Structure 1
Amino acid sequence: MSVEPAPRREVVTGVPRRTARMGRPVRTQSEINEQTTLGAAYVRSLMRSQLRAGLAAFAVLAVVLGSLPVVFSLLPSDLSLWPAGPTLVWAVLGAAAYPFMIVIARWYVRRAERNERDFADLVE
């Protein structure tokens, strides 16, 4: 019995998709590199989207964390009558605020990276 070698597999590839759009990326990159009016508009658009994301994150943090003193002022002045009053206040300030800030920070970073990725896709 003779064992025949398995036929060699061939990989068939097509033309890369980026070559079909070669005229546009070069023009867009040159617009930015040469600092033309259109290139400045592209960069300004990226900066505005990044600013919008930063202001949105700041606004949410300011509203939520800034309202904590108001909420605490609405609590009874004699916290000893309220079960776990001082402990609750310190737990919210010392522990519960940080996971909220981490969630907002992660949202902001993802949004900023998505803005940059969209801009890079536009330029390429």
Structure 2
Amino acid sequence: MSEEQQPSPPRREIVTGVPRGARRRPPAHAPARSEISEQTTLGATYVRALMRSQLRAGLGALTVLALVVGALPLVFLLPRAGSSPSVWVVLGVLVYPVMWLIARWYVTRAERNEADFTGLVTDPAEVPGPRPPR
């Protein structure tokens, strides 16, 4: 073969566009965060639902606390219970762990409500990954 018939090396092409997988499509619906910031009816419904769930948790904790601690005077009215030193043990020692458990339940429930709301409001494409240590 002569030099004239040898195929030339293929021409190199450089692609400078964004890879297909990295392109972000616009959401099919407006994220809930924009609904809230624009103060639309739907955004107000989201916020009202969060407030209602937080109020329900708070009223539940208050009800349990009122039933437990509020029933103690009724228990102490009994002839045997009112005259013994167990009244002071119950009031001075046993009430506080019960109050702590109720408070712990409330905080856990409130945090779960907020996490559910945040999951509802954030766009799935914007979910942050783990933060690198500083």
Shared fold, TM over 0.5: yes
* TM-score between the two structures when normalised by the length of structure 1: 0.74
**In angstroms, what is the RMSD of aligned CA positions?**
2.2
1:103 maps to which of 88, 94, 101: 101
Q: Kindly, what percent of the aligned residue pairs are identical?
A: 57
Distance 1:24 1:120 in 2: 19
> Unmatched 5+ residue regions in structure 1?
1-14, 80-84
Instruction: For residue 74 of structure 1, report the CA deviation from its aligned partner.
Output: 1.1
* Greater relative contact order (CA < 8 Å, ≥ 6 in sequence): 1
Quote the residue 2:75 is aligned against: 71
Instruction: Give the letter aligned to residue 110 of structure 1.
Output: T
Task: Give 1 or 2: higher helix fraction.
Answer: 1
* TM-score between the two structures when normalised by the length of structure 2: 0.68
2:42 maps to which of 38, 41, 44: 38
> Unmatched 5+ residue regions in structure 2?
1-20, 123-134
**Residues 78/29 of structure 1: CA separation in 2 closer, same or farther (3 Å cut):** closer
Quote the residue 2:31 is aligned against: 27
Instruction: For residue 26 of structure 1, report the CA deviation from its aligned partner.
Output: 5.0
In the alignment, is residue 116 of structure 1 matched against residue 120 of structure 2? no
Q: How many residues align?
A: 101
**Residues 58/88 of structure 1: CA separation in 2 closer, same or farther (3 Å cut):** same
Q: Which runs of 4+ in 1 moved over 4 A?
A: none
Distance 2:52 2:72 in 1: 30
Instruction: Give the letter aligned to residue 79 of structure 2.
Output: L
